[in-house]
Chains A and B, each alone.
Chain A
Amino acid sequence: MGNRTMRGESAIIGVGETTYYKRGRSPDAEFKLVIEAILKASADAGIDPREIDGFASYSNDRNDPSRIAAALDIKDLRFSNMEWGGGGGGGSAACAHAAAAVATGLADTVVVFRGLAQGQFGRFGQGARVPHVRGDQAYTAPYGLMSPAQSFAMRVHKLFDDHGITQDALKACSLASYHHAQNNPRAVMYGRPLTPEDYDASRWIVEPFHLFDCCQENDGGAAMIFVSAERAKDFAKTPVYFLGGAVGSGNRAGSGSHNATDYATSNFKTVAPRMYDMAQVKPEEVDVAQVYENFTGGVVMSIIEHGLTSYEEANDFITFENLIAPSGKMPINTSGGNLAECYMHGLELNIEAVRQVRGESCNQVDDVNVSLVASGPMVTPVSDMIVGSEAVL
């Protein structure tokens, strides 16, 4: 990598979230949710939102930065960026792009945002109601392989078969997210605890995913503001520094008809090492991790591919006790995550990673200096970020 790095060059100074709603329940337009999240992030940072000069998002977010800039009377639009690829695999990529923009002088104040109001724009988890499908979909959809859950379940059966990992690992991830949501009043599943018995009794969506292995679908908006490290201390909150980011996937991950060279993977095998390398962090130095849950099988793969455990030890390591804050060996998804806080397409995980460094989490881990986010397992591209305190700079 030589001397090309973004480590410590930028920091997150503000985060903002709307109320999180069940899918289709937002009383507000999607665009209004995005604006509200940006205004809240600006208030959190103590910055005039007119100072924002850059935008980064992902997953074909519908809310065009030029419209946002006009709506907020932004003085000087300098950066307008979209990560390609579906799903939540672009969340940490958008953060890395924001960090890169401020590190290189393309822009000074970049907001990463995501807005979803599915009542207005349709759902992720249903098959397309169309008479024809063409291209890669023609080889899957007519066979009833249409939804994200159906697209990823076979990877997880292959993982089970290759490595002897069991359903209990998936269950532990689900229970940890729901457990953390019970301390988080923002969480859509706040007040709705999940027991191991509830999990076991829940219906199959597609084997090996029970209902509670699957993320919610929600409405809401979320935003995070990045500035250069030199400016970061001029604002209201303690800066949280961007240490490392990486984006991508392995050989032919996007090949048609499920022909990825490596199949039973979250697609982090090549990405995580690049992130750790930039951040100058080792897996054992990670204090807390937010690991995107589209489906819990992807969380299990992500934990392994980030070196937080091994294939051999996964069944023993990935337990409810080890995954919960503050006592677990590797607390994950401490806000409740996509399963139980809100499916804000993962950006709520990036915000929770910031809260953990600030000491503001509802499930605070002690002395967090290194905070990891893994965005979007099994999709392509996926992305990673590590943020941290001033102490690790």
Chain B
Amino acid sequence: MANPGRYYLGEGMPAPAPAIDGLDTEYWEGVKRHELLVQNCHTCDRPQFGPEWVCHRCHSFDLGWKPVEGNGRIYSWERVWHPVHPALQDSCPYLVVLVELPNHENVRMVGNLVGDPMQTVEIGAEVRPVFEDHEGSDETEPFTLVHWEVVA
């Protein structure tokens, strides 16, 4: 059976950690509070993702983070059958979705689509974020992943 554990994927997957240079510490702290953030430029007030040290539009270094407003929309998807990591041995098949955020100029984020892994996935379907808290382990700090579920 797919997804038997308490998380969408098996335990022991690589844990996300903030970039060594501090670029995205706020993002990972935000999702731990169940607040999904997108990088936003203080100079031109436009979003960008993934995060970068400079705004790709106006080249300002004055960037901050803004809470994501509203739901997302499935931009593309894949159903994974072959486990490429030992932690995925009992997790296949599983769904990965690329979600665009219409209220943030359609920047995209990757996550898993919760629910039946054999569900029909429709590009354009409305989805909302689902926060999955992980306790961490001997090797990792606690962290939170952001999945998506279809809005009925």
A residues with a Cβ closer than 8 A to B are 125-147, 149-150, 153-155, 157-158, 161, 203-208, 252, 255-259, 263-264
Among B17, B23, B49, B123, point to the contact of A257 (Cβ < 8 A): B49
Among B23, B82, B140, point to the contact of A204 (Cβ < 8 A): B82
Residue of B nearest to A264 (CB): B76
Contact indicator B17/A155 (Cβ below 8 Å): no
A139 to B139, CA, bound (A): 19
Contact with A along B92-123 (1 / 0, CB 8 A): 01101010000000011111100000000001
B127-143 contacts to A, CB under 8 A, are 137, 139-140, 143
Question: B70 — which chain A residues lie within 8 A by C-beta?
Answer: none
Question: B145 — which chain A residues lie within 8 A by C-beta?
Answer: 142-143
Give 7 closest A-B pairs by Cβ, nearest first.
A256-B50, A138-B16, A127-B85, A153-B78, A154-B76, A131-B139, A204-B81
Minimum Cβ distance to chain B for residue A126 (Å): 5
Contact indicator A258/B98 (Cβ below 8 Å): yes
Residue of A nearest to B78 (CB): A153
- Known pairs A126-B85, A135-B19; A143 contacts B110 (CB<8 A): yes
Among B9, B76, B78, B140, point to the contact of A206 (Cβ < 8 A): B78
Question: A129 — which chain B residues lie within 8 A by C-beta?
Answer: 85-86
Question: A141 — which chain B residues lie within 8 A by C-beta?
Answer: 13-14, 16
A206 to B95, CA, bound (A): 10
Contact indicator A126/B84 (Cβ below 8 Å): yes
Contact indicator B17/A132 (Cβ below 8 Å): yes
- Known pairs A258-B98, A259-B49; A134 contacts B78 (CB<8 A): no
Minimum Cβ distance to chain A for residue B9 (Å): 5
Question: A264 — which chain B residues lie within 8 A by C-beta?
Answer: 76
A156 to B84, CA, bound (A): 20
Contact with A along B80-92 (1 / 0, CB 8 A): 1110111010010
Q: Does B32 contact A (CB under 8 A)?
A: no
A263 to B106, CA, bound (A): 12
A255 to B80, CA, bound (A): 23
Minimum Cβ distance to chain B for residue A209 (Å): 9
Contact with A along B44-59 (1 / 0, CB 8 A): 0000111110001000
Minimum Cβ distance to chain B for residue A203 (Å): 7
Among A133, A134, A147, A155, point to the contact of B84 (Cβ < 8 A): A147
Among B28, B51, B76, B96, point to the contact of A150 (Cβ < 8 A): B96
A134 to B28, CA, bound (A): 11
Question: B108 — which chain A residues lie within 8 A by C-beta?
Answer: 257-259
Contact indicator A150/B110 (Cβ below 8 Å): no
Residue of A nearest to B139 (CB): A131
Minimum Cβ distance to chain B for residue A294 (Å): 15
Residue of A nearest to B13 (CB): A142
Question: A125 — which chain B residues lie within 8 A by C-beta?
Answer: 84
Among B75, B91, B93, point to the contact of A263 (Cβ < 8 A): B75
Minimum Cβ distance to chain B for residue A134 (Å): 5
A307 to B46, CA, bound (A): 36
Contact indicator B96/A144 (Cβ below 8 Å): yes
Contact indicator A134/B18 (Cβ below 8 Å): yes
Minimum Cβ distance to chain A for residue B135 (Å): 14
- Known pairs A138-B24, A143-B112, A157-B78; A255 contacts B50 (CB<8 A): yes
Residue of A nearest to B112 (CB): A143
Minimum Cβ distance to chain B for residue A298 (Å): 14
What are 13 pairs between A and B in contact, CB < 8 Å?
A125-B84, A127-B85, A129-B86, A132-B140, A134-B16, A144-B13, A144-B88, A153-B78, A158-B75, A204-B82, A255-B52, A256-B49, A263-B76
A317 to B45, CA, bound (A): 46
Contact indicator B82/A154 (Cβ below 8 Å): no
A147 to B84, CA, bound (A): 7
Contact indicator B81/A205 (Cβ below 8 Å): yes
A128 to B85, CA, bound (A): 8
Question: A161 — which chain B residues lie within 8 A by C-beta?
Answer: 76, 123
B63-79 contacts to A, CB under 8 A, are 75-79
Question: A204 — which chain B residues lie within 8 A by C-beta?
Answer: 79, 81-82, 93
Residue of B nearest to A206 (CB): B80
Contact indicator B14/A259 (Cβ below 8 Å): no
- Known pairs A143-B145, A257-B50, A263-B75; A203 contacts B84 (CB<8 A): no
